[in-house]
Amino acid sequence: MQDYTEFMDSVLVSAEEIEARVTELGAQISRDYAGEDLLVVCLLRGAMTFTADLTRKLTIQHELDCMSLSSYGRGNYASSGNVRVNLDLMTNIEGRHVLLVEDIVDSGRTLAHVLSMLQTREPLSLRVCVLLDKKMRREVPVQVDYVGFDVPDKYVFGYGIDIDERFRHLPFIGSADLTRYIRPA
């Protein structure tokens, strides 16, 4: 396997910055939902690491469920625009406060699709928490309530975000120069 240092441009967000911001987000969300019945919904797989760390910082009671969507497909580095639900929620969200946790928002297409789908299930409230926001890539307007970091229009990886299902384990967010990346066979 290729070493990430061979194609990494830079560390965009350090492990220390991530930890500090996740702590801040946990405190803010805990204040905003104090006394409420919160359901945290993790969008797999990219948001898994972020969601695990975030929920450990929450000081309020909450439940956790997961969804899996795809719009990229293995080996693609740009969204196809076609969103497919691979795994749906097991929890009924009708009348519940729902916090959707996502790794990154760029075009907004995937997030808009899932928000529209979840709104039909009549949650009491539906908010979004994203680790990374690429605002300059937005094609579809979406409401993001909690943002970890605004990032430039670069391909990112690490802290749960993959390149070809690899490099999720890295504790930081790096930017990749895909011209130096060797796609696995």
Within 10 angstroms of residue 9's Cβ, the number of other Cβ atoms is 13
**Helix residue ranges per DSSP H, the chain:** 15-32, 48-57, 109-119
Query: Tokens in use for 35?
Result: 């006394």
Q: Which residues are catalytic?
A: 106
Residues 135/163, Cβ–Cβ less than 8 Å: no
Kindly provide the b/e burial profile for residues 48-83, where b requires at least 16 CB atoms within 10 angstroms of the residue's own CB.
Answer: bbbbebbbebbeeebeebbbebbbeeeeeeebeeeb
Query: Tokens in use for 135?
Result: 């605002």
Within 10 angstroms of residue 3's Cβ, the number of other Cβ atoms is 7
β-strands 97-105, 38-44: how paired?
A: parallel
